[in-house]
Every structure is written in C-alpha cells, then in structure tokens.
C-alpha cells in the first residue's frame, strides 16, 4: 500500500514536471517563431501625420530607406500646403538619419502636374511670398540632402513635377508618360534653382534646348538625353529599381558620400541662398505681367473643358 501511494505521488509529480517542461518548450517555440516572423516581415516605421495627409513617409527600419509619397489628389498640384508638408517631411528624414529616400506619388497616372495654377493665377502677394519661400526651402532640402535620393516617377511630371524628379539623384520612370520643364509655354521664366537642377542632370546644350523650348519628353526620349536613368513598367518595379540604386551606398562611408555630394552641388545651393529675395522679385514681376496672367487664365479654362 505504501508502495502504491509512493508510486501515485511520484506519477503526480512527474506529470506536473512534464507539464512544466512541455509548457516551457511550447513557450520557447512560439517566441522563436514570433522572432523569426518579425525578422522576416519588413519593419516599417510611419512618420505620416493624421492631421497632414498630403505627404506620407514610410521608413523601413531594416534598410533605412524611406518612401515619400505625395498624396494631394487628383494630380499632386504643388500648393503652399503641399510644399509645407514636404518641407516638414524632409526635416524629419534628416533628423532620423535615414539611409536614403524615394519620392513617388499616390496618383495612378500623375507624379505631379507641377505648381498649382491657383497659386499662380491672380495671386495674393503675401500668400505667394510664403508659397515661393517654401518652394525654395523644399529645393534646398531635397537637392542638398545629406542622404541619397531617388524618384520613382509613376506618371506625368511636367514643370514642377520634373523639378522634384531632377532634384533627386536618380530617376526611374514608368512608360507612356511625359516629363520636362515647360514653363516657357505659359510665358513663365524657370527660376534659377530649376535651371541649376536641369544643368546638373543633362548636358548644358540639352538643358538650354529643353528650357527655352519648354519641351515635354516621352519616357523613352527622356532616357536618351539622360533626364531619367531607367524605365520600369510598373510603380512597384520603379521603387524596386530605386531601392537597388540606394543600396549601392551600403558599403560607402555616409560621411564621405554626403560631403562629396554637397561639394558638387554647393555652388548651385549657394547661388540660391545668396539671392532668395531677388529670385522671388524676378519671378513675381514676370508672373503678374498681364500677358502672363492671361495665358495662365486661358490655360486653366482649357483644362476645365477636358
């Protein structure tokens, strides 16, 4: 009887011990799978603000690459508010020491249609001064960023859309779209910093022709003159190609790379920094010319009929 009682208690304690061991094994296994799942899934940190949905920024913690998506539908017209959102996003990215940024659009067929014509037509000088100053800020921050940049151009990119693309270091464009600085077609003079970006992208000769004629290039023609670097059939592929470009810098000193980029672009950046007020005055004087205002007004009317 005593032996039976001993066996019973032994069996009880063994069962409890086995359960504890089994529970531990299951717990460790689940933790391991959870860890593996977390490592397998792309870690993404979101910087977009619910109070400002115009620009969404997704940063992949594993690669350190941010995808910056313009989200002012239907065509990402560059308004004061969109420029302010972009300026804030670029500040956040600099402060978070990312490894690279890809600029793209949430619109299905338009990267950006350029400056919002409502900002240009019959403008209020005080608002337009704020608009132009923020426009300058965005260029200085994007063109002079410490991190490498690329543009996944998933739609048409005339005027200001082209400006954003050529402010980046690398451009991948989807087929069957147009890109170019066509300001002269509306009687508008491309500002000094847009001209600098174009000269930095294509040869001086091509830049002169493009700017004076206001040429809009097809994707294929843009590739031929070096306005873009690659063609990708879909947006997701364009982003992938941009990621491949940025990944090339993984084995390059970020300090050396950033210093080299800055030194190559320093003259252009300083040129604007030293004449921001003059740049505004020149553009404002041109913009309020009656003939220019009429051209912009007529063009806006023609868009409404489409």
- pLDDT average, residue stretch 2-12: 39
Pairing of strands 100-105, 65-70: parallel
- Residue 155 is part of which domain span? 44-304
Alpha carbon separation from 239 to 65, 67, 107, 113, 268 (Å, rounded): 11, 8, 15, 20, 28
Instruction: Judge whether 266 lies within some domain.
Output: yes
DSSP 249: G
Q: What is the mean pLDDT of residues 13-26?
A: 42
* The 3-state secondary structure of 180-243, one letter per residue: ECCHHHHCCCCCHHHHHHHHHHCCHHHHHHHHHHCCCEEHHHHHHHCCCCEECCCHHHHHHHHH
The predicted structure's pLDDT at residue 27: 47
Catalytic sites, residue numbers: 115, 160, 182-183
Residues 79, 116 contacting (CB under 8 angstroms): yes
Whether residue 4 is contained in a domain is answered as: no
* Residue 81 placed within a domain: yes
Token pair recorded at residue 214? 């206001």
Instruction: For residue 164, tell me if it sits in a domain.
Output: yes
Residue 211 lies in a domain: yes
Beta-bridge partner residues of 101: 66, 149
Tens digit of pLDDT for each residue in 221-261?
Answer: 999 999 999 999 999 999 999 999 999 999 999 999 999 99
In percent, how much of the chain has pLDDT > 90? Answer: 79
**183 conformational bin, left if phi > 0, alpha if psi -120 to 50, beta if neither:** alpha
User: How many domains, in total, are found in the chain?
Assistant: 1
**Which CATH number do you get for residue 174?**
3.90.226.10
Tens-place pLDDT, residues 47-100: 444 446 999 999 998 999 999 999 999 999 999 999 999 999 999 999 988 999
Does residue 217 lie within any of the structural domains?
yes
- CA 104/CA 167 separation, integer angstroms: 13
Whose CA is closest to 126, among 95, 77, 188, 80?
80
Residue 229 inside a domain? The answer is yes
pLDDT of 14 above 90: no
pTM beyond 0.85, yes or no: no
Q: What is the pLDDT of residues 94-118, one digit of tens each?
A: 998 899 999 999 999 999 999 999 9
At 58 the three-state DSSP class reads strand
DSSP-derived pairing of the beta strands 55-60 and 44-46: antiparallel
Alpha-carbon separation of residue 294 from 33, 61, 108, 115, 291 (angstroms): 66, 50, 31, 17, 5
- Identify which of 135, 146, 133, 77 has the alpha carbon closest to the alpha carbon of residue 105: 77
R_g of the chain computed on alpha carbons: 27
**Backbone conformation region of residue 74, classed left if phi is above 0, alpha if psi is from -120 to 50, else beta:** alpha
197 within 8 A of 166, measured Cβ to Cβ: yes
Average pLDDT rounded to a whole number, residues 7-15: 40
User: Is residue 5 situated within a structural domain?
Assistant: no
């Amino acid at each position: 009887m005593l032996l039976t009682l001993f066996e019973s208690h032994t069996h009880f304690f063994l069962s409890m011990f086995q359960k504890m061991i089994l529970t531990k094994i299951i717990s460790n296994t689940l933790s391991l799978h959870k860890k593996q799942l977390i490592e397998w899934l792309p870690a993404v940190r979101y910087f977009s603000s619910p109070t400002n949905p115009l620009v969404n920024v997704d940063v992949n913690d594993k690669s350190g690459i941010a995808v910056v998506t313009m989200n002012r539908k239907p065509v990402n017209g560059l308004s004061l508010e969109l420029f302010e959102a972009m300026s804030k996003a670029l500040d956040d990215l600099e402060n978070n020491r990312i490894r690279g940024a890809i600029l793209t659009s949430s619109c299905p067929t338009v990267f950006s249609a350029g400056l919002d014509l409502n900002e240009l037509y019959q403008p209020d000088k005080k608002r337009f001064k704020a608009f132009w100053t923020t426009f300058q800020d965005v260029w200085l921050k994007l063109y002079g960023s410490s991190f490498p940049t690329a543009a996944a151009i998933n739609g048409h990119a005339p005027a200001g859309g082209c400006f954003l693309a050529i402010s980046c270091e690398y451009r991948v464009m989807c087929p069957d779209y147009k890109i170019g600085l066509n300001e002269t077609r509306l009687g508008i003079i491309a500002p000094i910093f847009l001209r600098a970006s174009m000269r930095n992208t294509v040869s001086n000769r091509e830049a002169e022709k493009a700017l004076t004629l206001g040429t809009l290039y097809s994707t294929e023609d843009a590739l031929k003159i070096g306005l873009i670097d690659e063609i990708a059939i879909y947006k997701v592929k364009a982003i992938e190609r941009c990621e491949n470009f940025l990944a090339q810098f993984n084995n390059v000193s970020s300090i050396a790379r950033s210093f080299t980029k800055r030194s190559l672009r320093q003259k252009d950046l300083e040129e604007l920094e030293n004449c921001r007020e003059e740049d505004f005055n020149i553009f404002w004087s041109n913009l309020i010319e009656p003939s220019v205002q009429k051209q912009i007004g007529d063009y806006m009317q023609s868009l409404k009929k489409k």
